[in-house]
Amino acid sequence: MDHYRRIKRELALKGKIIDFYKDTIIVDDEKEVVFDFIEHKGASAMIPVDKDGRILMVRQYRNAIDRYTLEIPAGGKNPGEDNLACAIRECEEETGYRPHNVKHLIDVHTTVAFSNELIKIYYSTDLTPSKQNLDEDEFMDVKRCTMDELVSMIYSGEITDAKTIAGLLAYKEKIEQAK
Q: From residue 146, give the alpha-carbon distance in Å to each of 70, 106, 117.
A: 13, 20, 28
pLDDT in tens, 98-134: 999 999 999 999 999 999 999 999 999 999 999 888 7
Average pLDDT over residues 85-89: 98
Instruction: Name the nearest CA neighbour of 59 among 68, 46, 67.
Output: 68
At residue 144, the pLDDT reads 97
Residue 170 one-letter amino acid: A
Per-residue pLDDT at 138 exceeds 80: no
Cβ burial 95-104 (10 Å sphere, 16+ → b, else e) = bbbbbeebee
108 vs 118: CA distance, rounded Å = 6
Residue 85 one-letter amino acid: A
Total-model pTM: 0.91
75 vs 15: CA distance, rounded Å = 16
How are beta strands 118-124 and 43-48 bridged, if at all?
parallel
At residue 56, the pLDDT reads 98
Per-residue pLDDT at 178 exceeds 90: no
Q: Which residues, in sequence order, are CB contacts of 129 under 8 Å at separation 6+?
A: 96, 97
At residue 1, the pLDDT reads 55
Residue 45 one-letter amino acid: A
Instruction: Name the nearest CA neighbour of 150 among 54, 73, 60, 74.
Output: 54
Q: List for the chain the helix, strand, coil content (%; round to 5).
A: 25, 45, 30
The proportion of the chain whose per-residue pLDDT surpasses 70, expressed as a percent, equals 99
Domains within the chain, CATH numbers bracketed = 4-39 (no CATH), 41-178 (3.90.79.10)
